[in-house]
Amino acid sequence: MSTSTQHGESGARAPGRPEGRGPSRGGGLARVGSTVLRAVLTQRVLLLVVLLVLVLGFFLNLSARNYLAAPFDGRYLGLALINLPPLVMLALAELLVITSGRGGIDLSVGAIVSLTGMVFGLAHGQWGWPLVPAVLLAAAFGALCGAVNGGLVAYLGFPPLITTLATYYAFSSLAIVITSQQPISTAPIQDLYVLARAVPVVGDVALPLSLLVFLLPTVVVVWLLLARTAWGRRVYAIGTNDVAAEWSGIDVRRTRFLAFTAAGLISGLVAVVTTAQFASARPDAGTAGNGLALPAITIAVLGGVAITGGIGRVSGVVLAALLVVWLNAGILLAVAGNTGTQLQLLALGAVLVAAALLNGLAVRRYGAVT
């Protein structure tokens, strides 16, 4: 471990630091420098791009010097993206819920994934439903779970953190009890593994099918919803100030209810993705270990979603997830065995805290941050 940090320091300095940005080049360049610094600190997307370049440059450099267990190349980067769809989709679910404000957060997404996965497994694997109706059922059932959260939060005024903590318990318990802990891995479910297979895109770079079939449409739809529909603007409005939104004639409750429902729907689709990845509907798919909810919230926050609501962009979330996935993939190659997987935890936590602190700093120095 100590050796790898040494490499880390020597390698991190090498890439991504163009010469001639120093303050010695006169007033003009200094002004450019401070503008760049300001942009990087205040625009989360820019910061993430810089970090992404640094991480990729660092590991490519290590790879070129044969420090890694396997080459860190396009093919590997493509294959590593198998972890991306659940992470990004759930982080987008959190984006919707957190942005809708008033302490909005959804701890139950992982439990919804578990429960919906079992329902999907029963429908497709045991009742013999064809794939498309079964996926639609999963989406509808996930939306129903989300609607339970949304109803309690938006219409009855329950605090989101506690409500979704409660439904996390309830859904994860039901997921385990529903088949008395037995995973479903009948032939139709095993055939779904094709979704996790990689399809060649450019050269020897291949992308997992689930990324193309589930993730991309979800990203596009959520972006359209948030950036191009009236409902999306209303989400930002109620997240910024829901009293003002109420007075300007927005149906605050309905908007927030729909945000939670949409988050549930996305979680339902993630259930299909994880079922395909495991080739089995597992009752603990979204709740094993730390669960899927905590990483999703972490990614969302890292992606610039303000925990207080009203701020958050799809591009930030996608970039944050890419950063984490590729950082994790690199760590696995650089550090062998258990330490590698454990270092991923450290990396995730450190990046999150650092980004949050940086955000606070930027707010103090420059005012608003997007």
Partner 1 sequence: MSAAAPAPPRGSAPRRAAGGGRVLPFPVTGQELVLVGVVAVLWVVLGLATPAFLSSGSIVPLLVATAPIALIGIGVTVVIISGGIDVSVGSIVLVCAAVAATAMTASGLPLVPVLLLSVAVGGLLGLVNGVLVAYGRVHAIIITFGTLNIFRFVGLQVFGGSTIDGIPPVLAVFGRGEAGRTLGVPHSFLLVAVVAALAWVALRHTAGGRHYYAIGGDAQAARLAGIAVRPRVLLAYVLTGLLTGLAACFVIAQGTSTLAPNVGLGLELSAIAAVVIGGTSITGGRGSVLGTVLGALLVQTVASGIIQLGWPSQLSSLFIGVFIIVAVGVDLLRQRRRRSA
Q: What is the DSSP letter of 206?
A: E
Query: Within 13 Å of residue 16, how many CA atoms lie on the same side as its CB?
Result: 18
Q: How far is the CB of 82 from partner 1 (least distance, A)?
A: 21
Binding site for partner 1 (CB under 8 A): 103, 105, 107, 152, 156-159, 161-163, 165-174, 176-177, 180-181, 289-290, 294, 297-298, 301, 307-308, 337-339, 342-343, 345-346, 348-350, 352-353, 356-357, 359-360, 363-364
DSSP 132-171: HHHHHHHHHHHHHHHHHHHIIIIIT---HHHHHHHHHHHH
Tell me the residue type at 267: S
Positive or negative, the CA dihedral 242, 248, 254, 256 is: negative
Which residue's CB is nearer to partner 1, number 215 or number 343? 343
Instruction: Indicate the residue among 107 and 195 with the shorter CB distance to partner 1.
Output: 107
Of the two residues 185 and 308, which places its CB atom closer to partner 1 in the complex?
308
Structure tokens at 78: 């493509």
d(CA 85, CA 325): 10
Comparison of 105 and 211: residue with beta carbon closer to partner 1? 105
249 vs 289 by CB, closer to partner 1: 289
Residue type at position 339:
T
Helix, strand, coil percent values for the chain (each to nearest 5): 75, 5, 25
Minimum distance between the CB of residue 163 and partner 1, rounded to whole angstroms? 7
**Minimum Å distance from CB 198 to partner 1?**
28
Q: How far is the CB of 300 from partner 1 (least distance, A)?
A: 10
CB of 343 to partner 1, least distance (A): 7
Q: Give the pair of three-digit tokens for residue 159.
A: 């605090």
* Residue 315 CB coordination number (10 Å): 16
* CB of residue 178 to partner 1, shortest distance in Å: 10
Give 201 or 354: the residue with its C-beta nearer to partner 1.
354
Angle in degrees, CA 332, 48, 94, rounded to 5 = 85
